[in-house]
C-alpha cells in the first residue's frame, strides 16, 4: 500500500496561513520547501531521492529519503513491483 499526503487550501485565510508558515520570522524571511510526489506513479527510478540529496546538500551515499521496492507481484513475464517511501 502507498502512503502520502497533499494538503491544499483555498481562499484568503488559507493563503495567509500558508504564507505565514513559509517564513521563520518577519526579520529572517527564510523560505522552506517541500516535495510532493505521487507514490502511485512511482516507477522506482530514484530521481526524487537524488533531487532531495542534491537540494539538501547531503553527501554522496547518504540519503534522507528511502524508496522501498516490494517483492515481485505476478509471474514472469508479467511481473510488477510496488514502490513506497
Average pLDDT over residues 39-44: 84
Q: What is the DSSP letter of 10?
A: -
User: Positive or negative, the Cα torsion across 11, 17, 22, 27?
Assistant: positive
pTM of the model: 0.47
Q: Which three cell numbers stand for residue 79?
A: 511481473
Q: CA dihedral in degrees (50, 51, 54, 55; nearest 10)?
A: -150
Partner residues linked to 80 by β-bridges: 73
Confidence of residue 71 (pLDDT cuts 50, 70, 90): very high
The percent of residues in the chain predicted with pLDDT above 90, rounded, is 11
Amino acid at each position: 500500500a502507498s502512503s502520502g499526503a497533499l494538503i491544499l487550501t483555498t481562499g484568503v485565510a488559507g493563503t495567509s496561513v500558508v504564507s505565514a508558515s513559509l517564513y521563520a520570522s518577519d526579520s529572517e524571511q527564510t523560505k522552506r520547501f517541500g516535495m510532493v510526489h505521487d507514490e502511485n506513479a512511482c516507477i522506482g527510478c530514484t530521481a526524487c531521492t537524488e533531487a532531495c540529496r542534491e537540494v539538501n546538500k547531503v553527501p554522496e551515499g547518504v540519503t534522507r529519503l528511502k524508496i522501498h521496492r516490494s517483492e515481485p507481484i505476478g509471474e514472469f513475464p508479467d511481473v510488477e513491483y510496488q514502490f513506497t517511501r
